[in-house]
Amino acid sequence: MGLGVFARRFIESRSYFGPYGGDKRNTHLIEEASDYSWQVPDKSGNIMYYIDGGEPNKSNWLRFVNCPNTVSQENLISFVYHGDIFYLAIRNITVGEELLVYYGHNYAKKLGVDTTQFR
C-alpha cells in the first residue's frame, strides 16, 4: 500500500481538493506505465486524455491518496471540473482517518480490491 494521506484536521463533508497535479498525456499506455494516472473523460464518457502524477515534482499530495478496500472506507470521490481531477469528501472525515478515493474498477481490480461492492 505504501504511503497514504491522513487527516490532520476535521474535514467537513463536501469539502473538495485539487486539482490533481500532473502532466496531461494522450496515450493510454500511461495507464500501464504509471501508478498515478487518472483518465479524464468528456461529457459523453470518451477519454480525452490522462493526467499523470508519476513525477512527484510535477504533482501534489493528492497522488498519495490510496484506494479503499471496502465501500465503508471510501470517504472521497473523484470528479472532473474544467478538465481537471478533484476529490470531494462524501462524508465528514475525522482527525487521523485515512483519505481514500476509489480508483475505478480496472485499477482497483489490479490492486486486489473486491470491485463488486463499488458502483
Ligand X SMILES: C[S@@+](CC[C@H](N)C(=O)[O-])C[C@H]1O[C@@H](n2cnc3c(N)ncnc32)[C@H](O)[C@@H]1O
Applying CB under 6 A, among 18, 25, 64, 92 the residue interacting with ligand X is 64
Q: Does 85 bind ligand X (CB under 6 A)?
A: no
Question: Who contacts 22 (Cβ-Cβ below 8 Å, separation ≥6)?
Answer: 36, 37, 38, 51, 52, 53, 54, 55, 58, 59, 63
CA distances from 46 to 13, 18, 105 (A): 29, 22, 16
CB of residue 66 to ligand X, shortest distance in Å: 4
CB 99 to ligand X: min, Å: 11
What distance lies between CA 49 and its chain's CA centroid?
Answer: 15
When asked if residue 111 is in the footprint of ligand X (CB under 6 A), the reply is yes
Q: How far is the CB of 43 from ligand X (least distance, A)?
A: 25
Q: Which residues bind ligand X (CB under 6 A)?
A: 1-4, 35-36, 63-64, 66-67, 69, 111, 113
